[in-house]
Structure 1
Amino acid sequence: MAAQIRKIVVLVEETHREMGRAIAPATRKAAALAVIANPFAGRFVEDLEPLIAIGEELGDLLGRRAVAALGIAPAMVESYGKAAMVGEGGELEHAAAILHPRMGKPLRAAVEKGAALVPSAKKAGGPGQPLDVPLGHKDAAYVRSHFDAMEVRLADAPRAGEILVAIAVTDSGRPLPRIGGLTVAEIEGKDGLR
């Protein structure tokens, strides 16, 4: 693996009650995070191909770890998202290089399909700062019940010369959705929108 990984953390969030109502089955989100060295921290580099390659590797590794944390078959994943936070020695383009050119293909393989764009977010920050991983249905962007996010944070990351990379997946939408729109049962999954 090209990435110099300092640590990997996997988180699972379950919601069992919302507004005094039982959620059965519970809605679940999982995030897999990697803290990696930023090979370009503190300097401008024109060719970001090494970070693009790292993004491809992490799409596979973190995608599979997040799905495994939910204990479901890859096809049962409903939503996905990705995010990255560069430490103070990095720039937003470093996060973009990891997230955009090639991370999506291995992530889609990890969740079996994924016709919709993978929602993403990038920011600069430091240890302990929150990173919101946006979520959307993996096959149909218009499924409003799945517009969501998962907040992640690590007390010791990212350090100045690091990047915190996160992939999140869910087995359902938000608890108690009721704002209308396309339902999961109505998804065609052909164009990534409906």
Structure 2
Amino acid sequence: MLKMKKSILIFLTVLISSGAFAQFNWGLKAGASSNNFNLESVTSGTQAALEAAEQASWGFHGGVFFRLSLFGLIVQPEVLLSMTENNMLYTEVAGTPADEIKSRFKKLDVPIMLGFRLGPVRLMAGPAASVMLNSSSDLIENTEDLYKNATFGYQAGVGVDIAEKITIDVRYEGGLTKYGDEVMVGGESFTLDGRANAVILSAGIMF
């Protein structure tokens, strides 16, 4: 019994000490991203072709983050509203000029970053979920099929904090699930396997 009381006392002491050393902050952040849409495979029953554009497209994001620092470790969930676009090239008949398709979408991104400090630098990585809010396209007839309601990926990168107030982060985002299964372009049905990746630059203010 005495041993159990001693163990409980030690546990409570550690718990209280952890709370004393833990630091909680929240903040606002915004930034830009360079996005690439990779079409790993595209098939259709005709000569028509659909491929990803070589040039990356730009997007913007903004939102809120929460940071818990404890014993040198960092847990940082974020909720961000993102607006971006993906570009694809559609060729109706082989040998003819391609039409560029711009697809615009708005989504809610929720990355949960884990990391630690290495000197003044933060090393961060973690899973990221995206929930599609709405989408539109120049030529694609069924954008609701091109973009699934929810996709999952990951983010990894580095960051610095200036005067414990200003945060700057550079990250790479990769997709683990494909965006959609089938799209209709020019009356043609394309089965595809597309995933997005991005380089993200953001800055924020921490409270």
If the TM-score is normalised by the length of the shorter chain, which range does it land in? 0.3 to 0.5
Compute the TM-score of the two structures, normalised by the length of structure 1.
0.38
Structure with greater strand share of residues = 2
Compute the TM-score of the two structures, normalised by the length of structure 2.
0.36
Structure with greater helix share of residues = 1
